[in-house]
């Protein structure tokens, strides 16, 4: 036993915090390496959160909001260089380079560990090291998925408390069986010398988001932002969990989950994968515009899915909160999200502030306030030629504040998925909705999914890139193996219950440049068509890419949409698809030998159909 941790933990009010030997040992090792001033075990209580958020207010990291309009809520403003996930600095350090595949950065794990050890040596000097036991998904699951995040950021602790179940209850449950946990180490990488004054958003220009898939461990350095720092989310629940899922025969996906009830009162569940900032939260909280259809929310970003004993695909949402894109989330486009936010208990990051201590972002209200303080702390008026909120500004809100949250959200068994949607942000080519002919042709659709890049990741926006299953930045192993896993997993299904797969695109443009399809609540019309396809009710036309709605089969009642707009939104254009083929060929070549033969066959079939 090294003395550092021992003494510090004993000195604090938390003697002998855990009987979990592995955890105690890891905490000790990390503390010896990072050399914090103190070690604090997070209990997850409201009192603790009140203390921490007050400390964050005192430090200038959090700004308390107007208590009347945003109770118990705060705004945070990051360093302007730390506003999104950093994909360039995200690594999958599998033992073999081959297992990281071409979609990931790789470095030899031994070398990477040496590098990280250097960076973490003394990295927490002058700070408190927080130990956050957490669980993704239900504590009552057959095998709860535990993690422990060690961080030196109070902002991370307060945000993790919203996004996951954390604290003593989780720790006690882990101790019962000495359960396995994913060790997730995080530091903002900004040690403080004696007497040095802290900044509001400590971070480091050198950022490393690293995963060791065989060990199932995570190390993150230098960033305090979202997916880089709240390690239960993308790092654990997608990158590490996708590896667990490969090994154990399930799926960890970047998907929302929603429940749809038909006018005949039949429940259906839909899971949908869209790339970051392409509409998952909005679809998950949708207000249907069609009569007598009801939508309830189960999840807005991540789905863990496995085939049940009856051969049905079941999905759970492992998260406890929303980390939603603020811009574009408004009273007219997403009132359900706005109502959840208005209940308070939220942390907003990089939004603008109103003069009465509220928050604002582009698209929140129809009218733009006359004066704001922008996310960089500058005076802002509508004449300023720049957005007031950062395009990737976010709200972090407990999921149980959603009025339309399904009662099944807490069911550890999850819900039975009837349909899977893959969607991207494409100005051209991809019609509003296309039903796949089969599971494999649906996997083909997912594998070739493409989307224009957004502000959710650092880098240029608006470039079309392939984003398989909306998982490009999140597949924790070889992408070809991942597609193979998707293709083969259908063997576990009862064929009668295998979900139908659909490709959707809310973002096609008219010649004038506007969106051809109104989107948001109107997307319920597409959900209805998909469900009616499952029920054998809706008519479709077969095209080389799959089935699209026959004229009159999409419910357009009460919708003001010109013939031209409807045609532009829904049509299949063979020329556009022929122009798409070389890009798909190029994409598939990148997989080399690991591309499943079945998908090569799908592409050859599509090429032939388009040649006719």
Q: Give the catalytic positions in this structure.
A: 278
Q: Which residue in 70, 250, 274, 360 binds ligand GTP (CB under 6 A)? A: 274
H and E: helices and strands count for the chain: 16, 31
Q: In this chain, which stretch among 245-253, 322-330, 340-348, 373-381 interacts with ligand GTP, using CB under 6 A?
A: 322-330
333 is a contact residue toward ligand GTP (CB under 6 A): yes
Opening angle at CA 57, ends 55 and 61, nearest 5: 100
Bridge partner residues of 76 (DSSP): 62, 349
Structure tokens at 155: 């902002």
100 is a contact residue toward ligand GTP (CB under 6 A): no
Q: Does 520 count as an annotated binding residue?
A: yes
Q: Does 508 count as an annotated binding residue?
A: no
Binding mask 202-231 for ligand SPV (x = CB under 6 A): ------------------------xx----
CA 53/CA 33 separation, integer angstroms: 27
515 is a contact residue toward ligand GTP (CB under 6 A): yes
85 DSSP 8-state letter: B
282 is a contact residue toward ligand GTP (CB under 6 A): yes
Q: Does 225 count as an annotated binding residue?
A: yes
**Shortest Cβ distance from residue 281 to ligand GTP (Å)?**
4
274 is a contact residue toward ligand SPV (CB under 6 A): no
Q: Which residue in 506, 529, 572, 591 binds ligand GTP (CB under 6 A)? A: 506
CA 89/CA 208 separation, integer angstroms: 5
595 DSSP 8-state letter: S
CA 366/CA 568 separation, integer angstroms: 27
E strand map for 344-453 = 347-349, 352-354, 359-360, 372-373, 379-380, 394-398, 415-416, 419-423, 433-435, 450-452
Structure tokens at 60: 């200038």
Structure tokens at 540: 């479709």
301 is a contact residue toward ligand SPV (CB under 6 A): yes
**Shortest Cβ distance from residue 273 to ligand SPV (Å)?**
11
What 3-state DSSP class applies to 278?
coil
Q: In this chain, which stretch among 73-81, 204-212, 293-301, 576-584 interacts with Mn ion, using CB under 5 A?
A: 293-301
CA 162/CA 169 separation, integer angstroms: 15
The interface partner of residue 183, options being Mn ion, ligand GTP, ligand SPV, none and the CB cut-off 5 to 8 Å by kind, is: none
Q: Which residue in 43, 82, 253, 301 binds Mn ion (CB under 5 A)? A: 301
Q: How many CA atoms lie less than 13 Å away from 429 in the CB half-sphere?
A: 19
- Taking the least distance from each CB to ligand SPV, the nearer of 85 and 306 is 85
The interface partner of residue 327, options being ligand SPV, ligand GTP, Mn ion, none and the CB cut-off 5 to 8 Å by kind, is: ligand GTP
Angle between the 21-34 and 3-11 helix axes, to the nearest 10 degrees? Answer: 100
Residues that bind Mn ion (CB under 5 A): 276, 301
User: Known binding site for GTP: residues?
Assistant: 277-282, 394, 425, 520-523
User: Known binding site for substrate: residues?
Assistant: 85, 225-227, 276, 392-394
User: Known binding site for Mn(2+): residues?
Assistant: 234, 254, 301
Residues that bind ligand GTP (CB under 6 A): 274, 276-282, 300-301, 324-325, 327-328, 333, 456, 506-507, 515, 519-520, 523
């Amino acid at each position: 036993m090294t003395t550092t941790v021992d003494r510090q933990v004993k000195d604090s009010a938390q003697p002998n915090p855990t009987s979990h030997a592995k955890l105690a040992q890891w905490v000790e090792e990390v503390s010896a390496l990072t050399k914090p001033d103190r070690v604090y075990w997070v209990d997850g209580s409201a009192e603790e959160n009140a203390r921490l958020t007050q400390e964050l207010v005192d430090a200038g990291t959090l700004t308390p909001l107007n208590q009347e309009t945003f109770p118990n809520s705060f705004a945070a403003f990051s360093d302007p260089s730390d506003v999104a996930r950093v994909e360039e600095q995200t690594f999958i350090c599998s033992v073999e380079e081959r297992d990281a595949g071409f979609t990931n950065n790789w470095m030899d794990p031994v070398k990477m560990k040496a590098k990280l050890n250097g960076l973490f040596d003394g990295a927490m000097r002058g700070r408190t090291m927080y130990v956050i036991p957490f669980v993704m998904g239900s504590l009552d699951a057959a095998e709860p998925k535990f993690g422990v995040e060690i961080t030196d950021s109070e902002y991370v602790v307060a945000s993790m408390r919203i996004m996951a179940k954390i604290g003593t209850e989780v720790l006690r449950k882990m101790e019962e069986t000495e359960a396995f946990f994913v060790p997730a180490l995080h530091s903002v990488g900004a040690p403080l010398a004696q007497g040095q004054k802290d900044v509001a958003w400590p971070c480091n220009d050198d950022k490393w988001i690293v995963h060791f898939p065989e060990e199932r461990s995570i190390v993150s350095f230098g960033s305090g932002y979202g997916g880089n720092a709240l390690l239960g989310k993308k790092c654990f629940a997608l990158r590490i969990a996708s590896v667990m899922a490969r090994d154990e025969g399930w799926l960890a996906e970047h998907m929302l989950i929603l429940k749809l009830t038909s006018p005949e009162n039949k429940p259906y569940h839909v899971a949908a994968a869209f790339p970051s900032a392409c509409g998952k939260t909005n679809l998950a909280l949708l207000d249907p515009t069609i009569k007598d259809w009801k939508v309830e929310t189960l999840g807005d970003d991540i789905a863990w899915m496995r085939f049940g004993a009856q051969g049905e695909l079941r999905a759970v949402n492992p998260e406890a909160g929303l980390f939603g894109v603020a811009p574009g989330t408004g009273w007219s486009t997403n009132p359900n999200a706005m109502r959840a936010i208005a209940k308070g208990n939220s942390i907003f990051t990089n939004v603008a502030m109103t003069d009465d201590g509220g928050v604002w972002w582009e698209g929140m209200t129809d009218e733009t306030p006359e004066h704001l303080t922008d996310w960089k702390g500058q005076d802002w008026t509508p004449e300023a030629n720049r957005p007031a909120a950062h395009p990737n500004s976010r709200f972090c809100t407990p999921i149980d504040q959603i009025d339309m949250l399904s009662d099944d959200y807490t069911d550890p068994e999850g819900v039975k998925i009837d349909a899977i949607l893959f969607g991207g942000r494409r100005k051209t080519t991809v019609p509003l909705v296309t039903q796949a002919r089969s599971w494999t042709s649906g996997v083909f659709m997912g594998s070739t999914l493409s989307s224009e890049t957004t502000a959710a990741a650092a880098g240029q926006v608006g470039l079309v890139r392939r984003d398989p299953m909306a998982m490009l930045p999140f597949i924790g192993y070889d992408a070809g193996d991942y597609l193979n896993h998707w293709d083969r997993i259908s063997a576990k299904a009862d064929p009668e219950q295998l979900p139908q797969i659909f490709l959707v695109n809310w973002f096609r443009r008219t010649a004038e440049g506007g969106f051809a399809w109104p989107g948001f609540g109107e997307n319920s019309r597409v959900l209805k068509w998909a469900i009616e396809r499952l029920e054998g009710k809706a008519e479709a036309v077969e095209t080389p890419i799959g089935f699209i709605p026959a004229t009159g089969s999409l419910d357009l009642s009460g919708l003001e949409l010109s013939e031209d707009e409807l045609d532009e939104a829904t049509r299949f254009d063979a020329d556009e698809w022929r122009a798409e083929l070389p890009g798909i060929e190029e994409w598939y070549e990148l997989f080399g030998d690991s591309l499943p033969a079945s998908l090569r066959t799908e592409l050859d079939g599509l090429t032939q159909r388009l040649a006719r």
